[in-house]
Amino acid sequence: MAVEEMSEAVSVRADFSGGVITPRAFRWNGRSYRVTAVNARWEDREGAHASYHLSVQAGGDTFFLSFSAGDMLWRLDRVILPG
């Protein structure tokens, strides 16, 4: 298993419904990924703004995405690739 740490801006298509964020797809390194499952969700606060973190499955890999309510940006924080 390979773990790659990063903090890269990505484009994400997500649903915002009932106070829950559900990513449906994202684009990274010129490639589109369809989210097949959300593994976990958690929230952090820095001052007045929240950051929402999600672990998702796409194409057999695990991606950690975050959405910052302060600057309205999505980031890819980490990728876990099977060995």
pLDDT surpassing 90 at residue 1: no
Instruction: Kindly report, residue by residue over 24-58, the tens digit of the pLDDT.
Output: 999 999 999 999 999 999 999 878 889 999 999 99
Single pTM value for the model: 0.91
Residue 71's contacts (CB-CB under 8 Å, 6 or more residues apart) are: none
**31-69: burial string, b at 16+ Cβ within 10 Å, e else:** eebebeebeeeeeeeeeeeebbbbbbebeeebbbbbbee
pLDDT surpassing 80 at residue 83: no
